[in-house]
């Protein structure tokens, strides 16, 4: 059942049970893989223990791939796969290779013609888009807004244009302790009739996904401080 | 366990088993929901039978919401939820409300302050992005390219600019019987050193996700005719 491939294993976004966010096949595959490339060793071990407490973690090999790993060290991580053994990629939260260093490993595997198999799991980008009511035929995820004020102003303007001209939903994130500040800033700097969806603690016990006009957000009571949150704009 | 909410239930993209692409919680919730809004009645019934052949389908209510449904009929579909009963949304394939008419129902629910709960499932956009090796910190999905030649040329140029200037991965689809033609066209009209990932039959038995330079695609042998395929560009 296990193929010689680079398997991309999503991890839960919150403390919810495995069965709430991962298909059974992910768990079956995780039990069989012997080699892992992980963003953080400690959280990957914790994840595997949660998947199945009987997994013999000491018999597995782990290589860390973080944003600090030199690019030159990445190709060697594919050695087990080049010998014909599966490798599993586990990131800290969410889907590997979507907004983390796993992408460089995938790119190296693709360059060598190795098989890559992505598995289903929770993505705050996709789940928030589904629940926003915004255009899903055209959308863009931009990561963090620039911090520098003039670059930030330019980006906000560009997003506004893409919403209005291209009907493209704009999705972005913020460092969690700055969430409230960002929300206030959006209310101040964008037209009141623009729609903002704020999706927080996705898949978690306090999940909240609310779409309102910015003029209504400006009057609303909220506190997203330190809660993982994703922001979507549309009109 | 079932809340008074609009539940968004993803559906498999291929004929793969439920447990390969859906978490157990989706199946548990589907067994409890009594009211459904579905893109296509026949495929929704087939999906529910596949989830659990003991579901008494005749005791459930179904309302169809397709691209032909007048917008004025949508708010009334929320009546069960306004009485406090859960509604499930089922699209034809993939994640509801991402590229289908479910988004209008979600928008209507959000306008009324009703709770919306998106569930985890397969998305060809996200799975292909994970396995492409491309930038997942910035990406855009654009749906279909325009058919009109001058609009198409303009879009291709715009995509190229966003790849080069913004390092934004560009994702799009084509009508399956035109896949081969689109691939040849991309090879012809874009620089040979640009990277193209072609992801076909995602989650299916013939899944193939391959990233190559356009100059290599131009020489490659392939046949994506009539196979659901998604295209990603980056450099």
Kind of pairing, strands A6-9 and A116-118?
parallel
Q: Which of A146, A148, A69 is nearest to A103 (CA)?
A: A69
Half-sphere exposure of B70 (CA within 13 A, CB side): 3
Query: What is the three-class DSSP state of B57?
Result: helix
Banded pLDDT at A1 (limits 50, 70, 90): confident
State yes or no: pLDDT of B19 exceeds 80: no
Kind of pairing, strands A208-213 and A195-200?
antiparallel
With CB atoms and an 8 Å threshold, state whether B131 touches A139.
no
Q: How far is A18 from chain B (nearest CA, A)?
A: 8
With CB atoms and an 8 Å threshold, state whether B130 touches A95.
yes
State yes or no: pLDDT of A17 exceeds 80: no
Q: What is the mean pLDDT of residues B166-194?
A: 96
Q: For A29-56, how does the pLDDT look when each residue is reduced to its tens digit (9 = 90+)?
A: 999 999 999 999 999 999 999 888 899 9
Report pLDDT for A64.
95
Report pLDDT for B207.
94
Q: Which of B156, B152, B218 is nearest to B184 (CA)?
A: B218
Asked if residue A81 lies in contact with residue A34, where contact means CB atoms within 8 angstroms, the answer is no
Asked if residue B58 lies in contact with residue B6, where contact means CB atoms within 8 angstroms, the answer is no
Q: How far is B72 from chain A (nearest CA, A)?
A: 16
Strand partners, B37: B63, B89
With CB atoms and an 8 Å threshold, state whether A134 touches B103.
yes
With CB atoms and an 8 Å threshold, state whether A25 touches B25.
no
- The partner residue sitting opposite A20, judged by closest CB among B25, B131, B168, is B25
- The partner residue sitting opposite B98, judged by closest CB among A117, A130, A212, is A130
Say which DSSP state B1 is in: -
State yes or no: pLDDT of A13 exceeds 90: no
Q: Which residue of A8, A22, A106 to mutate against B (max B Cβ within 10 Å)?
A: A106
Report pLDDT for B103.
93
Single pTM value for the model: 0.95
CA dihedral B149, B150, B151, B152 (to 10 degrees): 50
With CB atoms and an 8 Å threshold, state whether B107 touches A134.
yes
Residue B219 burial (CB < 10 Å; 0-12/13-18/19+)?
A: exposed
Report pLDDT for A18.
76
Q: What is the mean pLDDT of residues A174-189?
A: 95
Mean pLDDT of chain B: 94
With CB atoms and an 8 Å threshold, state whether B122 touches A123.
no
Report pLDDT for B215.
98
Q: How far is CA B121 from CA A194, B8, B22, B186, in A?
A: 29, 10, 5, 30
Banded pLDDT at A147 (limits 50, 70, 90): very high
CATH tag for B124-234 (out of 3.20.20.60, 3.30.950.10, 1.10.150.80, 3.90.550.10): 3.30.950.10
State yes or no: pLDDT of A207 exceeds 90: yes
Phi, psi of B63 (to 5 degrees): -125, 135
Judge whether B77 is closer than 8 Å to chain A, CB to CB. Answer: no
With CB atoms and an 8 Å threshold, state whether B130 touches A210.
no
Q: What is the mean pLDDT of residues B220-235?
A: 96
Q: Write out the two tokens for A231.
A: 């922001």
State yes or no: pLDDT of B33 exceeds 90: yes
Judge whether A76 is closer than 8 Å to chain B, CB to CB. Answer: no
Strand partners, A106: none
What is the distance, to the nearest Å, from the Cα of residue A194 to the centroid of all Cα atoms in its chain?
Answer: 25
Asked if residue A63 lies in contact with residue A90, where contact means CB atoms within 8 angstroms, the answer is no
Q: In the block, which residue shows the tokens 């087990």?
A: A80
Q: Which of B3, B47, B54 is nearest to B29 (CA)?
A: B3
Judge whether B235 is closer than 8 Å to chain A, CB to CB. Answer: no
Report pLDDT for A100.
78
Strand partners, A195: A213, A234
CA angle A231/B1/B3 to nearest 5° reads 50
With CB atoms and an 8 Å threshold, state whether B123 touches A126.
yes
Q: For B185-197, how does the pLDDT look when each residue is reduced to its tens digit (9 = 90+)?
A: 999 999 999 999 9
CATH of domain A6-118: 3.40.1010.10
Banded pLDDT at B109 (limits 50, 70, 90): very high
Domain ranges for chain B: 6-118, 124-234
Report pLDDT for B27.
93
Counting residues of chain A whose pLDDT is more than 70, the rounded percentage is: 100
Give the residue ranges of DSSP H helices in chain A.
Answer: 18-21, 24-30, 41-51, 79-82, 102-111, 124-132, 149-166, 179-189, 214-219
Asked if residue A230 lies in contact with residue A169, where contact means CB atoms within 8 angstroms, the answer is no
Q: How far is CA A115 from CA A16, A86, B208, B211, in A?
A: 31, 10, 8, 10
Judge whether A128 is closer than 8 Å to chain B, CB to CB. Answer: yes
With CB atoms and an 8 Å threshold, state whether B97 touches A131.
yes
What size, in residues, is chain A?
235
- The partner residue sitting opposite B139, judged by closest CB among A20, A137, A140, is A140
Asked if residue A94 lies in contact with residue B123, where contact means CB atoms within 8 angstroms, the answer is no
Q: In the block, which residue shows the tokens 């919730």?
A: B29
Banded pLDDT at A134 (limits 50, 70, 90): very high
Q: How far is A215 from chain B (nearest CA, A)?
A: 14
Measured from the Cβ of residue A217, the count of other Cβ atoms closer than 10 Å reads 20
Q: Write out the two tokens for A35.
A: 């080699």
End-to-end CA distance of chain A: 47
Chain A partners within 8 Å of B125 (Cβ): 126
Q: For A104-125, how does the pLDDT look when each residue is reduced to its tens digit (9 = 90+)?
A: 999 999 999 999 999 999 999 9
């Amino acid at each position: 059942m296990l193929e010689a491939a680079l398997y991309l294993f999503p991890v839960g976004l919150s403390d919810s049970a495995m069965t709430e966010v991962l298909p059974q096949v992910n768990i079956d595959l995780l039990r069989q893989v012997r080699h892992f490339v992980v963003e953080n060793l400690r959280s990957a071990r914790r994840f595997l223990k949660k998947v199945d407490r009987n997994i013999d973690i000491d018999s597995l090999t782990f290589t860390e791939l973080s944003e600090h790993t030199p690019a030159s060290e990445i190709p060697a991580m594919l050695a087990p796969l080049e010998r014909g053994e599966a490798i599993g990629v586990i990131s800290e939260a969410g889907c590997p290779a979507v907004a983390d260093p796993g992408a460089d490993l995938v790119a190296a595997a693709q360059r060598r013609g190795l098989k890559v198999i992505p598995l289903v799991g929770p993505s705050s980008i996709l789940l928030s888009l589904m629940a926003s009511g915004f255009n899903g035929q055209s959308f863009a995820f931009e990561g963090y807004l620039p911090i520098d004020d003039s670059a930030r102003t330019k980006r906000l303007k560009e997003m506004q244009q893409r919403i209005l001209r291209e009907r493209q939903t704009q999705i972005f994130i913020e460092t969690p302790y700055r969430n409230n500040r960002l929300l206030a800033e959006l209310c101040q700097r964008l037209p009141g009739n623009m729609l903002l969806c704020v999706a927080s603690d996705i898949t978690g016990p306090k999940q909240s996904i609310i779409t309102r006009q910015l003029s209504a957000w400006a009057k609303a009571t909220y506190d997203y401080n330190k809660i993982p949150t994703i922001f979507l704009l549309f009109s």
